């Protein structure tokens, strides 16, 4: 059974992943705030992406550019002229829709064949009574829709104190352009050789006409983008370098999402048809994910050719070329752009990780997040919150582990309940301190100095001496198998 969006929205709110922005004022349309667990998950996604695609590669560097850029950037990039969606308005209820998406939603119909009864008809289908198709507003079912008008998706604002045309600027609708305008700065300062890439993760803003579906489409979101520059005169494996690298990036990005847990059957590639390619693109392939709303774009990988560098060279009057030592010529590199949304990635990881199962007649909700994505790595749980030695030992363990990982201490419920709480937010390991660990000094009994580690997925438990704990947790959190670690220690009864 796949999870519904409502379940994810409610889990996200209840457990501190994501809240509606400005909720106490009634909320801000399509804006969301990441809570204590959400920010950890989001940071982990960005950190892993940076580690795998920037830090560990010799051909990659990163930047962090400002969101407000020179307004001419958006003229040169084509965003001022082309970054538009066709929009239609209902003349009656005034709701606004993307013209190309009106038929992708269920529609309200007052059916003439049934004395005007009101029906909600599934997207794209005719009325089963009168056979009619949607012509009016899909929402109110009464108003005519206006002819499509082009609507620019960039947020406009003013730079400085005077609100006049000369000071208009825009919030960036993508992070990519900063890599193009900094191409020469990066090339010269880092003495790079083609092929190389520049990466950036940061905020982007789009005044989407129809935002929605939780964090899938919002007006403020984060992107992780790479502009990978290649020499168009070179060949790799007998193929033009840009085509070779385009395929390599598609494979690498797909493998990345698989590596961090997205199931194969929920991922697919979608080749853009010639008539839907952006104005700069030679070829674009999307990685689509089976979201709770159906198959939709998770990220796109485009071959942007030399369009952007040429445009910026023309509009700025600066040369944006690379000197090819071998051929003794200046070339304008081609660009492959893997562009991923952080929020959509987070939504996909939540949806893919969410599992409901039955354990001994009770429902268990578990978020099977990859250990490196999990917002909390370890929960330290004292079995009795009133026994001083237990509490002291558990607190000391929390402090020790927290030097390296995000760890929580929780004593606010019975142990079974505490485990379920951690399962639901994807905490891979729980460490329990009990009477056996510390003994009973009143009775002159000493403890065995061992704690229980519980594995989220198998619910198995092992008894580990406290001095070994940090090393075992470290092994498990850096990719070590539970079965390997568990084989070295006695098991405890499962919970």
Binding site for ligand ATP (CB under 6 A): 174, 206, 208, 217-218, 221, 223, 297-300, 339-341, 343-344
Q: How far is the CB of 81 from ligand ATP (least distance, A)?
A: 16
Q: How far is the CB of 102 from ligand ATP (least distance, A)?
A: 16
How many Cβ atoms sit within 10 Å of the Cβ of residue 24? 6
Letter string b/e over residues 155-194, b meaning 16 or more CB atoms within 10 A of that residue's CB? eeeeeeeeeeeeeebbbbbbbbbbbbbbbbebbeeeebeb
Q: How far is the CB of 85 from ligand ATP (least distance, A)?
A: 8
Whose Cβ is closer to ligand ATP: residue 187's or residue 298's?
298
Whose Cβ is closer to ligand ATP: residue 344's or residue 370's?
344
Q: How far is the CB of 456 from ligand ATP (least distance, A)?
A: 28
Please list the helix, strand and coil fractions of the chain in percent, rounded to the nearest 5, in that order: 35, 30, 35
Letter string b/e over residues 390-429, b meaning 16 or more CB atoms within 10 A of that residue's CB? bbebbeebbeebeeeebbbbbbeeebeebbbbbbbbbbbb
Which sign, positive or negative, has the C-alpha torsion 260, 266, 268, 272? negative
Q: How far is the CB of 344 from ligand ATP (least distance, A)?
A: 4
CA of residue 160 relative to chain centroid, distance:
33
How many Cβ atoms sit within 10 Å of the Cβ of residue 460? 17
Q: How far is the CB of 271 from ligand ATP (least distance, A)?
A: 14
Three-class secondary structure of residue 376 per DSSP: coil
Whose Cβ is closer to ligand ATP: residue 211's or residue 480's?
211
Cα–Cα distance measured from residue 399 to residue 166, given in angstroms and rounded to the nearest whole number: 55
DSSP string, 264-303: GGGEEEEEPPGGGS-TT-SEEEEEEEEETTEEEEEEEEEE
Q: How far is the CB of 87 from ligand ATP (least distance, A)?
A: 14
Cα–Cα distance measured from residue 405 to residue 408, given in angstroms and rounded to the nearest whole number: 10
Q: Which of 371, 367, 346 shows the shortest CA–CA distance to 355?
A: 367
Q: How far is the CB of 354 from ligand ATP (least distance, A)?
A: 20
Whose Cβ is closer to ligand ATP: residue 223's or residue 427's?
223
Whose Cβ is closer to ligand ATP: residue 187's or residue 301's?
301
Whose Cβ is closer to ligand ATP: residue 349's or residue 419's?
349
Q: How far is the CB of 82 from ligand ATP (least distance, A)?
A: 12
Whose Cβ is closer to ligand ATP: residue 252's or residue 411's?
252
Q: How far is the CB of 219 from ligand ATP (least distance, A)?
A: 7
Show the tokens assigned to 396.
């000391």
Whose Cβ is closer to ligand ATP: residue 109's or residue 304's?
304
Q: How far is the CB of 343 from ligand ATP (least distance, A)?
A: 5
Three-class secondary structure of residue 131 per DSSP: coil
Whose Cβ is closer to ligand ATP: residue 287's or residue 472's?
287
- Per DSSP bridges, beta strands 18-20 and 32-34 are antiparallel
The enclosing H or E element of 349 equals helix 342-353
Cα–Cα distance measured from residue 441 to residue 392, given in angstroms and rounded to the nearest whole number: 14
Whose Cβ is closer to ligand ATP: residue 174's or residue 400's?
174
Whose Cβ is closer to ligand ATP: residue 282's or residue 387's?
282
Whose Cβ is closer to ligand ATP: residue 211's or residue 449's?
211
Cα–Cα distance measured from residue 65 to residue 273, given in angstroms and rounded to the nearest whole number: 32
Q: Which of 343, 354, 368 shows the shortest CA–CA distance to 260?
A: 368
Q: How far is the CB of 171 from ligand ATP (least distance, A)?
A: 13
Looking at the DSSP assignment, which residues form a beta bridge with residue 364? 357
Contacts of 274 (CB under 8 A, 6+ apart): none
Query: Among all residues, whose Cβ is closest to ligand ATP?
Result: 341
Which sign, positive or negative, has the C-alpha torsion 122, 126, 127, 133? positive
Q: How far is the CB of 162 from ligand ATP (least distance, A)?
A: 31
Q: Please, are residues 298 and 269 in contact by the beta-carbon 8 Å criterion?
A: no
Whose Cβ is closer to ligand ATP: residue 248's or residue 272's?
272
């Amino acid at each position: 059974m796949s999870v519904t969006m409502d379940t994810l929205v409610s889990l996200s709110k209840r457990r501190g992943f994501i809240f509606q922005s400005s909720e106490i004022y009634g909320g801000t349309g399509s804006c969301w705030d990441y809570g204590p667990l959400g920010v950890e998950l989001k940071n982990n996604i960005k950190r892993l992406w940076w580690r795998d695609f920037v830090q560990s590669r010799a051909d990659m560097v990163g930047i962090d550019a400002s969101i407000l850029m020179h307004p001419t950037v958006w003229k040169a990039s084509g965003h001022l002229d082309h970054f538009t969606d066709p929009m239609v308005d209902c003349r009656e209820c005034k709701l606004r829709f993307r013209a190309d998406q009106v038929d992708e939603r269920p529609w309200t119909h007052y059916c003439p064949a049934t004395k005007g009864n009101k029906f909600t008809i599934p997207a794209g289908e005719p009325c089963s009574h009168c056979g009619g198709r949607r012509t009016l507003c899909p929402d109110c079912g009464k108003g005519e829709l206006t002819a499509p008008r082009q609507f620019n998706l960039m947020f406009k604002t003013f730079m400085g104190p005077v609100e006049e045309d000369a000071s208009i600027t825009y919030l960036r609708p993508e992070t990519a352009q900063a890599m193009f305008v900094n191409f020469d700065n990066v090339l010269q300062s880092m003495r790079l050789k083609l092929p190389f890439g520049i990466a950036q993760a940061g905020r982007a803003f789009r005044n989407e006409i129809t935002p929605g579906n939780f964090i899938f489409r919002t007006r403020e979101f984060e992107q992780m983008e790479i502009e990978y520059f290649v020499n168009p005169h070179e060949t790799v494996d007998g193929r033009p370098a840009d085509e070779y690298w385009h395929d390599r990036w598609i494979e690498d990005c797909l493998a990345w999402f698989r590596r961090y847990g997205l199931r194969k059957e929920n991922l697919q590639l979608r080749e853009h048809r010639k008539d839907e390619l952006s104005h700069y693109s030679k070829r674009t392939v999307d990685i689509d994910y089976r979201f709770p709303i159906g198959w939709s774009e998770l990220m796109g990988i485009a071959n942007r050719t030399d369009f952007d560098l040429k445009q910026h060279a023309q509009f700025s009057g600066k040369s944006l070329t690379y000197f090819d030592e071998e051929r003794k010529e200046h070339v304008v590199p081609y660009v492959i752009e893997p562009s991923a949304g952080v929020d959509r990635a987070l939504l996909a990881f939540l949806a893919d990780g969410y599992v409901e199962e039955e354990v001994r007649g009770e429902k268990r909700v578990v978020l099977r997040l990859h250990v490196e994505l999990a917002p909390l790595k370890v929960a330290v749980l004292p079995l009795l919150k009133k026994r001083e030695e237990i509490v002291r030992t558990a607190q000391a363990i929390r402090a020790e582990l927290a030097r390296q990982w995000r760890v929580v201490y929780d004593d606010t419920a019975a142990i079974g309940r505490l485990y379920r709480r951690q399962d639901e937010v994807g905490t891979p390991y729980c460490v329990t301190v009990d009477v056996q660990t510390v003994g009973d000094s009143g009775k002159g009994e000493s403890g065995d100095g061992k704690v229980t580690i519980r594995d989220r997925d198998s619910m198995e438990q092992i008894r580990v001496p406290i001095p070994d704990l940090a090393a075992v947790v470290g092994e498990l959190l850096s990719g070590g198998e539970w079965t390997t670690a568990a084989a070295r220690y006695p098991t405890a009864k499962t919970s």
